A and B are shown apart, each in its own frame.
Chain A
Amino acid sequence: MLKERISIVLLAIFIISFSNSSSVYASGKGKLRGFVTDSTNGEPISYANLAIKGTTLGAPSDNKGYYYIPSIPEGEHTVVVSFLGYQSQSIKVMIKADEITQVDIKLVPSNIRLQEISVVGERSVRENEIDLGLQKISKNEIEMIPTGFESDLFKTIQSSAGVSSTGDVTARYYVRGGSSNQNLVLLNGVTVYNPFHALGIYSVIDPEMISLAEFNKGGFGPEYGGRLSSVLNIITRDGNKSNFQANATAGMLSGKASLEGPIPGGSFLLTGRKSYYSKMLSKFLDGRDAPFDFYDFSFKINDQQPDWLKNGKFIVHGFFSGDRINNNDQLVEDYDIKNNILGINWYQIWASPLYSFISLSYSGYKAEVLPNLSDSKARLNKIRDITANFNFTYIYDSKDELDFGAEYKSLNSVLQEQNLYYQNINYEKKSDALSGFVKYKFYRYENFGIDLGMRVNFLSLTEKIPMLLEPRFNFTWRIHPLLSLKAAVCRSSQTLTTLSNDKELIAVFEPWTILPDNLSPAEATQYMLGIQAYMTEKLTLEIESYYKSQKLLSVPNRQKYDAHDADYINIDGESYGLECSSKYQNNFLFFKTAYSLSWSYLINGTEKYFPRYDYRHSLNIFSGFDLGEGFSLSLTWAFNSGMPYNPVDGSYYRLLITDPWDVSVLTVKPTQNWNMKEVKRLPFYHRLDIGLSKKFHTSFAEFTIDASVLNVYNRKNIFYFDIQTGKQINMLPFLPSISLRAEL
């Protein structure tokens, strides 16, 4: 079986490789390649535009700053390199026939701050770029959005069209009707199993370390697998290659610092964050005290083009985060949650138009509930994930690209817990998975871009094997220079899941596990159609529609009333919607809107119901103003139509058992009866946040003061109804915060 599956992939690579006649395009022509970096710190610039003047030739740099332009006529040419936030450069290059010319380009940052906050790579030189569903997010964009106490990548994602959340107090996000455990979060290519701090209020990803985040809502390529809904690929900064630099930020919740600088042949980056005043978080927990203590620490060391290997780059990176709730009380439970990530990446540009990315990584996750002498249940979850990735890209003279590779994963999951029915669960599984992929991108046609890909699952983590083939198709057709039509189809499967309950608005313990043997791997197929229009040079409009069918999702068994009933069962899901995003930018104003109209359902046999995160309408408006003299202002306004809930159809006196030794039918308590068959919607949610930032310089440092106010007009958005009292609990109230950042 395994041999058959491997044979299919090798055959596909073989056929594609030899069906492309490079020689037709190659005669008398040369190639240009190199890296685009920031002149001040040597950081790679992703998605910079490179164009050969007087021709239609060009290419964007990739997410590592690398670019490659084939089929350039022999002779002297001018390369125009541009990227928002940087001064454009024109560089003369001499192209020789049948040779690869290497030119590394350093771009100088411009002084206009607003250009920095724009979404990365706004308009690509490659008009047939295949990027349906892809959003590129920069560090500056994250930091401009007022989030209260901590700037947060996940809050930025939540404001995207097609992404929803269940409240202000959680950084969990739901993409196009998929549950939160269907989102893959990669940090430098390594899976982060618990990307949250403080019960999910914030993400563990400190914006300080981010170079670029690529968020893909469904049309992801075959190089990604294992999740149904989205891929968030976070690439951290390399560190300043020119100078030593230190930053420190003091906020109301935590303090953080970073140090970076050059080392022989490369650079390093260290970042760290530690909470010190968790009392602020009680605002997020309806006044409940939670003595949080969290930290995260990351490092990255890179050696670029070492002497012993030309055109190679080695990266060693690590990330460690921990969350602890220590109540110092034997009658209350404690929590301990940790992520440990270590990885080695080798990026190599070969003599031919081939480059490779090979990585070996370890991702460990441990979550533990220590009940002490409380009534809480003891729970433990451990994941040990060792993954090896091999990715190769070959660029033909026709501009077409062939990507192929493999992923091997060795995974051990341990789950020990007692469920609500006092049943002890001890589930441990060790398994291996092997997947291969091949992808061919047709870039040879000026107005068409086609991306045909296939992921093949050779070995599965689960007893029940997921589907063999996961086809991925992506298509762009430039109808007009200012208008592109895009389409994509994506099939994917998932064999790892969190045993989570979407009825839990706040879940402290969301254990990851390889699917138990009684459950089948989940599958999803998504169809997407979109239009991208450049209305003017400053105004972009994107419209996307999608239909997603999900099969065999693992959800809590709603009919479980006994310890012997299965905790989780397989059900199906369905979602569809329309998303509309626009961006406008001039020298002092940045304006972005994201609207989505969507439906999502879960289907259990004949029962069809809305998940908690189903919104009909969602609108997010973000605007940033450069006020000059170091001041910048940002406003975000979020609007959602109501979340679904089951209404109350009356009350009754239920048997009250406060003391199991004193059970009397005369001891009763008035209780609401929720009508589980009827669905109503909560009132509209809306909220305005304002952030004001001021930069100022002293002789030794640059300071930034960020002040923000969440829920400026103190809207009482409903979070939930207390099932015991029927009392309305609201989301975040008016909440001011301030932070100071120093850059040495």
Chain B
Amino acid sequence: MKNIFNRTPYNINIIMTVKNIYMKNADMKTAYMKNVYIKIACIIAAIIFPLFLSSCQEEFNPVSNFKDQYVVNGVINYDYAYSIFPKPSTEQNCECRVFISRSFNLVNNMAMIDSGNVLIRGASVSLMLNNGTSYTLQDKDSKGNLLNYYYCKINRDIVGQQVNLSVVTSDETSLVSKTILPYIIIPTLETEGLEAGIRNRTGLKTVTFSWNPKTNVHLLFAKMIIPYYIISQNKYSQIEVPAAIAKRGDKIEYVYPSAFSSDHYDFQFPALDSALASIGRGIKDKTDIEVVFCKLSLRGYDEELSAYYSTTNGFLDQYSLRLDENTYSNITGGLGIFGSFSTSTNEFPFDPRYIRSFGYTYNYPH
């Protein structure tokens, strides 16, 4: 085997020479690379520097030329309540309110306003039914006091009829719109076995109400109320029942009904149990509380108000992101919305056994 360490001076010279050349090449290579790096750094700096200057983005304002318009917000509401306690009776009420304002040339930092200050007064506001009946709305009450809106009371028989709104402002601008007042919804108790009264029993998860769908009712809202009476205090009160109960970590959250369009609605029994139990919370003598029935209110929006609600409150999910979509308007000649809704309220008795299971008294209301 050749001893590689047994080198002659000649060999050493060669090695030294090669090493020098290598070192020189290495130095040259390093110098060359340094040069390249410096050039690249200069190129990058030259690119980035002017871009930094333009990075200070000016505040961009998406405003076009201001367009002055009248804005009309009008709602007709019809309420119908049917009571069975202490004796069967009905109550009905129908009225219309219209608020007129103007658009304004401000886009950001818009504060909520005192609506009374921006109401456009002096307008001629009227409702016209298809049968020729008309109603005039006033911005004063019967005593001559100024209201912050235009108002009129309407006969109850306009349910299902088309109502045309006409607004003529003092500068002769005409704004028109229309709505069809929705029919009232009469619910019945769907859950079997509760004919004698609502109670939570084995096998039941929900108390379900159903009704015949009405063609001119689009969006629906439900609300269940439990009225109760505290005997010793001679005090009437009420509590709203959530539709469901959810757990958020260790906390319990109550979920109240949101918009829907089906022909039935479910309230979960745990939510009803929870609402009933909460009435007597902190009260030692539960028999001091009288509970007999619950009230279910159903509110139906007409087509116009439903579309408006969907564009302003419609919620697909928390991540989807939609753009530039205007709020629905059905005011010809301006902006805003004119719609109607009807509300029915009906009473449904509880089963006495169910109420007594909470320790409460089941007596007919006084």
Contact = CB atoms under 8 A, between A and B. Distances in A.
A586 interface: no
A561 B330 CA distance: 10
Interface in A674-706: 674-676, 678, 680, 682-683, 686, 688, 690
B107 A726 contact: yes
Given A330-B247, A627-B36, A648 B64 contact: yes
B6 interface: no
B90 interface: no
B341 to A, nearest CB: 7
Given A329-B248, A507-B320, A688 B47 contact: yes
Contacts of A588: 36
B37 interface: yes
Contact of B317 (A508, A686, A712): A508
A377 B259 CA distance: 11
A94 interface: no
Interface string B63-101: 111111101011101000000000000000000011101
A376 B315 CA distance: 6
Interface string A591-622: 00000000000000000000010000000000
Interface stretch (B16-24, B112-120, B157-165, B181-189): B112-120
Interface stretch (B127-135, B204-212, B304-312, B346-354): B304-312
A674 B104 contact: no
A169 B75 CA distance: 42
B5 interface: no
A726 to B, nearest CB: 5
A686 B51 CA distance: 9
Contacts of A728: 59-60
Nearest to A653: B101
A649 B185 CA distance: 41
B64 A668 contact: no
Interface string A645-687: 1111111111111001101111011111111101010110010
A277 interface: no
A720 B44 contact: no
A307 interface: no
Given A331-B246, A372-B246, A375-B258, A661 B223 contact: yes
A290 B69 CA distance: 41
B138 to A, nearest CB: 14
Contacts of B317: 333, 335, 369, 376-377, 508-509
Contact of B323 (A335, A637, A720): A720
Contacts of A508: 317, 319-320
B64 A501 contact: no
B234 interface: no
Contacts of A653: 71, 73, 101, 113, 115, 118
A732 to B, nearest CB: 13
B107 A375 contact: no
Contact of B218 (A424, A563, A654, A726): A563
Contact of B37 (A627, A647, A655, A670): A627
B108 interface: yes
Query: Which of A509, A637, A668, A728 has the largest number of chain B CB atoms within 10 A?
Result: A668
A665 B73 contact: yes
Contacts of B299: 660-661
Nearest to B313: A657
A650 B60 contact: no
B335 interface: yes
Contact of A713 (B48, B66, B259, B336): B48
Interface string A117-151: 00000000000000000000000000000000000
A506 B118 CA distance: 37
A427 to B, nearest CB: 17
A422 B310 contact: yes
Given A331-B253, A563-B261, A503 B47 contact: no
A727 B47 CA distance: 31
A329 B255 CA distance: 13
A652 B57 contact: no
Given A648-B63, A678-B64, A668 B319 contact: no
Contacts, number: 259
B323 A650 contact: no
A714 B260 CA distance: 45
Query: Which of A420, A424, A627, A635 has the largest number of chain B CB atoms within 10 A?
Result: A420
Contacts of A678: 64
A423 interface: yes
A657 B71 contact: no
Nearest to B49: A713
Contact of A650 (B57, B104, B261): B104
B103 A713 contact: no
Contacts of A661: 221, 223, 297, 299
Nearest to A676: B326
A384 interface: no
A420 B62 contact: no
B112 A670 contact: yes
Given A652-B103, A655-B308, A712-B48, A504 B36 contact: no
B220 to A, nearest CB: 8
A728 B59 CA distance: 9
B171 interface: no
A479 interface: no
B318 A376 contact: yes
Given A657-B309, A716-B55, A726 B62 contact: yes
B322 A503 contact: yes
A373 interface: yes
A483 interface: no
Nearest to A561: B307
A561 B335 CA distance: 16
A199 interface: yes
A669 B225 CA distance: 29
Interface string B30-49: 00010011001000100110
Interface string B154-175: 0000000000000000000000
A633 interface: yes
Contacts of A288: 318-319
A562 B314 CA distance: 13
A426 to B, nearest CB: 13
A502 to B, nearest CB: 9
Interface in A625-649: 625, 627-629, 633, 635, 637, 645-649
A422 B260 contact: yes
A533 interface: no
B60 A682 contact: yes
Given A674-B326, A675-B64, A652 B47 contact: no
Contacts of A668: 73, 99, 101, 113, 115
Contacts of A91: none
A715 interface: yes
Contacts of A563: 218, 261, 306
Contacts of A424: 261-262
Contacts of A507: 320-321
Query: Which of B40, B316, B318 has the largest number of chain A CB atoms within 10 A?
Result: B316
A652 B325 contact: no
Given A563-B218, A676-B326, A651 B246 contact: no
- Nearest 9 pairs of A and B residues by beta carbon: A647-B64, A670-B110, A330-B246, A716-B57, A561-B307, A422-B261, A665-B99, A420-B314, A652-B103
18 contacts: A375-B258, A375-B315, A508-B320, A612-B323, A648-B62, A650-B103, A652-B102, A655-B99, A657-B308, A665-B73, A668-B73, A668-B101, A668-B115, A675-B67, A680-B62, A683-B60, A686-B54, A726-B108
Interface of B: 33, 36-37, 40, 44, 47-48, 51-52, 54-55, 57-60, 62-69, 71, 73-75, 77, 97-99, 101-108, 110-113, 115, 118, 148-149, 218-219, 221, 223, 244, 246-249, 253, 255, 258-262, 297, 299, 301, 303, 306-328, 335-337, 341
Given A650-B104, A683-B60, 8 more contacts: A329-B246, A421-B314, A654-B312, A660-B309, A665-B74, A676-B324, A686-B51, A715-B55
